[in-house]
Amino acid sequence: AIYDPVSKEQFCSGIVRAPEIPMPFHSANIRVFDGRVYYQGDVRSAVNAAAARAIDCYTFREEGAVTNNIELCYEDPYKTAEEGASQAIDYEAILARRDARVSIMKTSRPPSVSTPEKRSIFLSYAKSNPHELHAPKMFLENAFSKLYGHSCGDTYDVQE
């Protein structure tokens, strides 16, 4: 999980769909248990998947709507921690969409990253540093640093 260093909000791993992230998320050994996503035997992917989920939620909060231009995970983003905790997610359907997308990705070139014109902390940072979306954990740490004015490294925790 990733934690916001100020609000202490926890973001659990999502199922990453972004083709611009070069990590092997499409081949990750994912297990869903009690409504949580676990990347078995792959701490790096788990942390980056939690960071991707946090990025989706922060951009959703800034925009007030889902922006498909930067949506890194299959799960819908949410506005508050309470809303996130009460979300009912159909992981069977998500995993089926993921498997279908992986088949398509193997035969086509992934699209490039684009962002909407509205400027805000996470979206403007993504637009000016799209290469950092390749490593969601790094992107999130740098965005937190810009937002809060100090380093926010190690704001994650691995759940076994």
DSSP 25-47: GGG--EEEETTEEEETT-HHHHH
Find all residues with CB under 8 Å of 30, minimum gap 6, and list them: 15, 37, 38, 39, 40, 95
pLDDT band per the 50, 70, 90 thresholds, residue 20: low
Do 104 and 14 contact (CB within 8 A), yes or no? Answer: no
Whole-prediction pTM value?
0.69
pLDDT of residue 10: 92
Confidence of residue 53 (pLDDT cuts 50, 70, 90): very high
Residue 35: alpha-carbon gap to chain centroid: 16
Range with the largest mean pLDDT of 67-76, 83-92, 137-146: 83-92
Q: What is the mean pLDDT of the chain?
A: 76
What pLDDT sits at residue 70?
A: 72
**Is residue 114 very low, low, confident or very high in pLDDT (cuts 50, 70, 90)?**
very low
141 or 37, which is more confident: 37
**How many C-alpha atoms does 2 have within 13 Å on its Cβ side?**
28
Q: 136 with 51: CB under 8 angstroms?
A: yes
Please compute the mean of the pLDDT values over residues 41-67 and round it to a whole number: 84
Tokens coding 54: 């946090």
Stretch 104-119: mean pLDDT? 50
